[in-house]
Amino acid sequence: MAELKIFGTSTSPPTRIARVAGIEFGHEVELCPMAWRDTPDELFSLNPAGRVPVLVHEEVTLWDSRQIWSYIETLEDSNAHESVRVMQGPHYWREANILTLIYEMMGAMMVVRGMEEDPPISEHPYLYRSLDRWGRCLKALDEMASQGWFVEPTTFGLAEAAMICATDALVGREVIDISQYPHLSGIRMRYETRVSLVTTLGKYFPGQRGGVSTT
């Protein structure tokens, strides 16, 4: 079994999603610290879009955490935890909608964080549009969670991993009060001791910027 190398940062939600996937499907995962802020040339050589995560496994290189999850799921030597929900079945389209909202939210998070850095861009209309989209996505996700989220609440899949990784970053940076989203909070509490989430949780703090952590 070849080790999965995932390039990114410990505080990047998409990178963490990819790491969670490796652990959930029984693989050894190496986090290779890399960020656009610190090593742009190296990152662009791996991904022309200059984004993390990047998975390198044998002859395969992948650039998106959703595709990385699907790829790991289908590896012949994957050995999924019995409660892991695969990306197929009657729940697929509902999960696809949930994931669309989560990834839109993460995209808005990146825009807002970028505009808050030096020099800040505080009056641009796109900043307010991103803040609005971020809030609307959270509200919609909480509403979907109030309706049951999935038929099988004891399973764990990409939707839960992505939601928890994204909201952990927002909560850790003190950007949102998660108690305002009680149904998402309930899902978060359900999985708070799950090994893949506990072992990949990064160190967050208010005002945190991107980049490779030195601590």
Length of the chain: 215
Query: Cα–Cα distance between 206 and 123 in angstroms, integer?
Result: 21
Query: Cα–Cα distance between 190 and 188 in angstroms, integer?
Result: 5
Q: What are the chain's domains?
A: 92-193 (1.20.1050.10)
pTM of the predicted model, to two decimals?
0.89
**pLDDT tens, position by position, for the chain (215 residues)?**
568 999 999 999 999 999 999 999 999 999 999 987 777 888 999 999 999 999 999 999 999 999 999 999 999 999 998 899 888 877 788 889 999 999 998 888 776 665 556 556 666 665 667 778 888 999 999 999 998 886 567 899 999 999 999 999 989 988 889 999 999 999 999 999 999 999 999 998 886 665 554 33
Specify whether the CB–CB gap between 19 and 6 falls below 8 A: yes
Q: In the numeric block, which tokens belong to residue 178?
A: 């998660």
